[in-house]
Structure 1
Amino acid sequence: MNHYCYLFRQIKSAQSSHGKCAFAFCVAAWASDSVTAVYGETIVVPCNGGSPPLDDLMFIKWKYEKDDGTPGDLLVKQDQKEATVQATDGYAQRVSIDDNYNLLISEATLMDQRTFTCMVVSVSNLNEFPVSIQVHKKPSALQIMDQAQVLHKDKPTMVGTCVAADANPAADITWQKNGKPLAADDKGRFARAGSLPPLLFSFLLNIPSLFPLIADPSEKVSLQVLSKGPIVEGDNVTLKCHADGNPPPKAFYFHIKGQKTLVENADTYTLTAIGRDAGGEYKCSLPDNEKMEASESITVSYLDLSLNPTGKVVKTVGDTLSVKMEKSASGEAIVSWRKDGKVVKEPVFTKLTYTDAGIYKCEVTMGGIARTQSFELVVEGKPVITGLTKQRSVDGNHKVLTCEAQGVPQPVFLVNLTVTCFVSNKLGDDAMTINVSSDSQEESDDQAKLIVGVVVGLILAAAVVALIYWLYMKNSRYCNSPMHTLAYHNHISECLTERCS
């Protein structure tokens, strides 16, 4: 149910004034056979004014008057027994009874404004106690409609229409000017002479004991930056504008970097993927009064990290590698390095070794912002045999050869029949030979050497004997020859003495 109030102004002079419109919602004191309830709350309907039941009570029955005037049953409660709900319509889930036989109706609506009857049946009597229900409801909206944008001198102008919708009973509306009520004509219109500049009016809704509502033009505007933490480059930032008027404004101007944007039916504006150059002052204002404005400053945090090299880096043993890290931040940043997950100093490579290989990660932090870059260093080199050893196995029946080599990519091992270890990769190769023999073979070699020595000794002895025999025979032939006899005939005895003795 709506109740309307109209206000007219007659401009006569250059004096300014302000006005108020007020209306009152009054709750009356009802008789004992009537109950006043509040919309949405539980209605308590007393039976017989709350008097205690008779001693010879048989049962109590609650019923109500339907829209067509016929009676409808709600529930029945026999003495010393549980109540039985008899309603089959919307009341079936809403009615109950308490220990004092009061009827309880949950979630009161305007449709509950009807008569409910408590029928008390005793052994000796039957009485009915009707109770009338009145439900009060506050307005669902409070507005000034048809507001005038411009007032003209010496011309009657309707400033606005004061509306209180859905109130029950209908609200009484009164306009006030400077705290004093304006008189209404027989049509419910309020008129008073006024002057330029345009007048500002407000109105007051006053419902005693229930609620007060005040509608006034905005006097203060505030701007809020909706962000849980520091604003980081790339974030979405929402600005919220608020004015203290009642009802609240439905449109705002947002001033973004010198550009004015009108937002209607909302009080927020979102900056998407904000950049580092977006920092500065932001404002919002009211479309009908741009002098009513508020401002906030925004600081955008940013952090950049550049690392060279990145990805997978392949180098050779002995090479150098230059690592360059650059950062750009809006504040003080902290740099840390890790190699294979362990904290290390900033890497410097003047002569690479195999131990330099690994995954390096650079992390730069500033407040709650973090940036990371990484590279994987692979150090390659020609394989080099670092060890070739032999040792007897645990059972003593075998010899174990161990060939150790260092190189990247991983070397391929090859051992030939002469027990030479070969290692190679795409960068080169290496080899090393080891002498391997069994104990039994060594013993056989020693025996063979002994036999050879004996044989050689025997051969040498036979040669000496043969030589002596040959010399003997040679000397014997010489002494007996004719020539030798003729030449040395005179010396035979000397020959025999000197050469044949």
Structure 2
Amino acid sequence: MKNKSYSFYDLKLKIYDNLAWGSDAVTALYGETILVPCNGGSPPPSNLMFIKWKYEKADGSAGDLLVKQDQKEATVEATDGYASRVSIDDKYNLLISGATLLDQRTFTCMVVSVSNLNEFPVSVLVHKKPAAVQIMDKAEVLHKDKPTMVGTCVVADANPAASITWKKNGHALVADDKAVVITSSTKVEPSTGLSSTMSILQYVASKGDAEAVFTCVSAHDLGDDAANVGPFSVHYPSEKVSLQVLSKGPIVEGDNVTLKCHADGNPPPKAFYFHIKGQKTLVENSDTYTMPAIARDAGGEYKCALADNEKMEASQSLVVNYLDLSLSPTGRVLKTVGDTLSVKMEKSASGEAIVSWRKDGKKVKEPAFTKLTYSDAGVYKCELTMGGITRHQSFELVVEGKPVITGLTKQRSMDGNHKVLTCEAEGVPEPVFQWSVNGSNERSAFSNGKATHKITVIPKVNLTVTCTVSNKLGEDAMTINVSSVFNEDPEKKDSQEESDDQAKLIVGVVVGLILAAAVVALIYWLYMKNSRQGSWKTNEKEVGTSEESKKLEENNHTV
């Protein structure tokens, strides 16, 4: 009889056929010891003579393994590879060390007793857990709208062969031969009979797949495994270009202005054309172009385009703001009290500008000086604003003048023991005060060209006191009579001084009235004289009554 050769695939079919006949089955682990029970592990009969294990060879013939007689050592009868691998335990179970896929066959336990002979066939399957999932040919990036091989997933050395599925972000991918193409295959290693499963994923990405994670999942009876591939960057060409002006505020003449050309492609383009006032400039390895110290006439439309596709372009209008302020005078301006000062402000702006004035930090109207006073002195600041742009210039006005005494007064103290003399003057620079008498408790004040100086005196006799004020432009003096504070009735003295002052006031009023009456009479006389001369020339009668003449005579008499 000729020997038959079987492939591993044919051998598996034969084993599964035996299982279909109703024989028992045992599943063993690859490389481990196979335990094959005899009669399902039931105890042998009491009149047992011996137990014999045999197996079905690849060609279908029977081969002997070993024989075990009751109370005796087992005898190995195998002459092939099983000779060193088989043994039997005390329960008559067949033990086969180092399980391989060649052990996937039917083993038969033959039980021989005095009264009977029974055979118990057992089919053996050997399973092998696959090696860890491996990812090969991993893609670097995905491409939008273009099939890209994500990677090759390999699950090796398994029995039976492992199955593979692909997931994206945790969701199973279903092949549609368009956006998702999955190609799977299984290969058997001839030397071991172990199977390796391989699956290739091709995927058509979209922009939304950026940072997506793909997972290869291996499923097997002895355990599942998985390996991730990704995340991936998705590459796609630019679909839109924009031009930006990098500026925190309005662009002002003299600023450095940077233009940025942005394209939405991935990876971003590395070269651009910038169209600057009719000139085309290529910029490589950058998406910006800087114009230093931009001029006011540089406003207008600017463009940028992709270097490799100039049809993809964008434009942006650029407005250059400018604001000029010219003020005359500026700096320190020295004038004399009573002088005039012309202030001229000129402005030039690209838009509506607002002018404001401040004097010594306080808001004022635009200054106009026709006759300078000491109070006009100060620091004037003109500020011009337009949007977020500000210009300002200033001048310091100093008004000088010869000192003039505006008042000299005296005042008795409440206790009558001394008198306080007050001298008031106007002048810049600040006047220096000098008195013709010695005083104490001196107090001074100076503001806006007005100066005050007070001294305390104790006159022992009646005095004529002179106050003199001076600065670099000149001097002025005034006197006042000061009576003694000794040997006099303060109330009487004050009353006398007050009466003298009142008398002087009355005399002044009377003299003023007399002068006013004289002027009125003179004017009336000239009027009447002219009226008479006019009537003589026209041969008309003089107009007037006797009562009017009488009144005129009375007025003349009164004057």
TM-score by length of 2: 0.43
TM-score by length of 1: 0.48
Greater relative contact order (Cα < 8 A, sep 6+): 1
